[in-house]
Structure 1
Amino acid sequence: MAQRTVLLILFDGVQSLDVTGPLEVFAGAELQAPGSYGIRTASLDGAPVRTSSGLTLAPDTSLAAAPAPHTLLVPGGQGTRSPAPALTDWLRRHGPHTPRLVSVCTGAILLAEAGLLDGRRVTTHWAYCDKLARDHPSVCVDPDPIYVRDGPVATSAGVTAGIDLALALVEEDLGRETALTVARHLVVFLRRPGNQAQFSAQLAAQTARREPLRDIQQWITEHPAADLGVATLAARAGLSPRHFARAFRAETGTTPGRYVDRVRLEHARRLLEDTTSGIEEVARASGYGTPEAMRRAFLRTLGTAPTEYRRRFRPAHTP
């Protein structure tokens, strides 16, 4: 087995977890499969860098002296807002010759500045997706997934999503058992699928200020198959349907119907990813009633049918 060199770029203002999260994954894999990864860190001039949290990181070497990597990992952080031109130039020269380009969080901005994301589908931290799309119109920015693979380029959302992506890369390189062992040691899930939304339904919507409405949000999440019409939900909240609908939208930023739609879709996706339940059973458990209703919802929101979604995002050996 040929060793894969993983090079992590360091710079002032880097987000420490964007570096240490993936680093711990690759280092853990190297412990399980010695010789699998050669991990190196490098700053532009080889000098220590100060992270956005104030932690100082000492790199192994300078970029000029760094070995040609198999996997080049570019973290994010405040330092991506005004990157050193020399760093962008280095990425522009070396990126096209690297077998696997990886970014965590706003590291995607550095890759885009170097012209390495043109024509690619990518993601980044939700708060910077609009900026990335606006500043680089030739890049297809998807704000929803926690990570995206497009050919040799892999981009991830903020902070912990870098761990998910690194685990996916280890699974690709060394197999599921090695990745599972690393995940267990880090006490994280082995596999949050890359298409999983950066926000759950409850996080995507604002949390209501008033307790009755907060309770309704929680009840919807716990009972996706129940009658979740406005009249029923309003009665549970002790409000008239009109007052409930108006208050729910004012406090959560979305309508009751859209919130219910997102909860049901999220629930169905989890069942398709993590269970062997039949499509009809998943549709009933998620509140769609019929497989056709669930199919329409998946096609409308995700652009794929439930059966195809399961084929793509649930490992064949999932129990």
Structure 2
Amino acid sequence: MTPKPHTVGVLVFDDMKMLDLSGPAEVFSEANRFGADYRLTVVSVSGAPVRTSIGLRVPVDTDAASVSEPDTLLVVGGDLLPGFPVDPDLSTAAKRLAERAGRVASICTGAFILAAAGLLDGKRVTTHWQHTTLLARGYPSMRVEPDAIFVKDGTTYTSAGVTAGIDLALALVEEDHGPDLARGVARSLVVFMQRSGGQSQFSASLQGPAPRTPVLRLVQDLVQADPSADHSLDSLAAGVRVSPRHLTRMFRAELDTTPMKYVELIRFDRAKALLDSGHTATEAASLSGFPSYESLRRAFVRHLGVSPTRYQHRFATTRPASRPERDIEEKA
């Protein structure tokens, strides 16, 4: 049976991220080799070619007003979107295209365009981990999920950093044609159908500004100076000359966490840095203040969804592993 053609309109603009376009486009093109019939139309507000973030110019098929009813609308992202107001012409074009589309999706910071167009009000969304706080602050009606690779809310989809556009495109292919075809595409492109863990694998744990309160800044300094030292609640409170109960209240009020969770995050960040510099997982646990490898492993699974050894294997080098990950895991 010949599949029904599925039109994908991709809204682009000057300084867009090249991979936001090329990544999903390759997924849909590869899906056509397996029997799908995706037809991409690259759209700009005026119909003029656009300049990408790497300086290449991308030809455009048509202007936004001329697109009829795309089955899927993809809105790409760009580095300038989080720091500057969205061009009203761009957000208006996105809104009008979305009104005619069967489903709407954004790649990376393209979520800021959908948000400015009012298309994400009341929805669960995500974007690149560096900008989730800014997105949540700018559009408080949305529920931002900072660790998600992509989020589906009804017929609206948002995805994380640039390569997450490939994950999202695979999910759309699976939705349209089932897991077998999507799996074939993933294998052909040598990408995961579903990667382990979320965006926090790539982000810093202690995001946001430093504590404002002098007492909390002193706690931060004490723990960072020697993460492996005794940093129990009683010890920290004695070190900054407040009661344990008062210190706990201060952490709750300013940082919405507990002293012990804060200590764990500092130790966790130190352990990641040690793994990145080549220490073994056992050494990283000891030097960062975790009582054992197992306690470090639990922290990694809790925060990243992967073990310390698997994290190190993924991020320490681009060289292929000499043996399977499961063997490395067993000998950690």
Q: Please classify the TM superposition score into its range, dividing by the shorter chain length.
A: 0.5 to 0.7
Equivalent position of 2:128 in the other structure: 125
For 1:5-154, what aligned pairs fall within 5 Å after superposition?
Answer: 5-34=7-36, 36-80=37-81, 81-154=84-157
1:58-96 C-alpha deviation (Å, 9 max, x unpaired): 111111122321110001112534432112112223323
CA–CA distance in structure 2, aligned partners of residues 166 and 210 of structure 1: 32
- CA change 1:219–1:171 in 2 (3 A) is farther
- Helix, strand or coil at the partner of 2:147: coil
For 1:288-299, what aligned pairs fall within 5 Å after superposition?
Answer: none
Counting aligned pairs with the same residue, the percent is 42
The CA deviation at 1:189 is 1.3
CA–CA distance in structure 2, aligned partners of residues 72 and 131 of structure 1: 24
Contact 1:105 1:158 in 2 (8 A): yes
Contact 2:6 2:71 in 1 (8 A): yes
Contact 1:109 1:132 in 2 (8 A): yes
CA–CA distance in structure 2, aligned partners of residues 51 and 153 of structure 1: 25
Match for 2:75: what amino acid?
V
CA–CA distance in structure 2, aligned partners of residues 43 and 7 of structure 1: 10
TM-score (norm: length of structure 2): 0.64
Contact 1:167 1:191 in 2 (8 A): no
Equivalent position of 1:296 in the other structure: none
Match for 1:102: what amino acid?
A
Contact 1:202 1:217 in 2 (8 A): no
- CA change 1:119–1:2 in 2 (3 A) is same
Aligned-residue RMSD, C-alpha = 3.1
Contact 1:207 1:214 in 2 (8 A): no
2:301 equivalent to 1:264? yes
Match for 2:30: what amino acid?
G
Equivalent position of 2:317 in the other structure: none
Contact 2:167 2:193 in 1 (8 A): yes
CA–CA distance in structure 2, aligned partners of residues 112 and 213 of structure 1: 36
Match for 1:101: what amino acid?
V
Match for 1:263: what amino acid?
F
Equivalent position of 1:281 in the other structure: none
Unpaired stretches in structure 2, ≥5 consecutive residues: 206-267, 308-328
- Helix, strand or coil at the partner of 1:190: coil
Contact 1:12 1:79 in 2 (8 A): no
TM-score (norm: length of structure 1): 0.67
CA–CA distance in structure 1, aligned partners of residues 105 and 275 of structure 2: 44
- CA change 1:215–1:181 in 2 (3 A) is same
CA–CA distance in structure 1, aligned partners of residues 32 and 139 of structure 2: 36
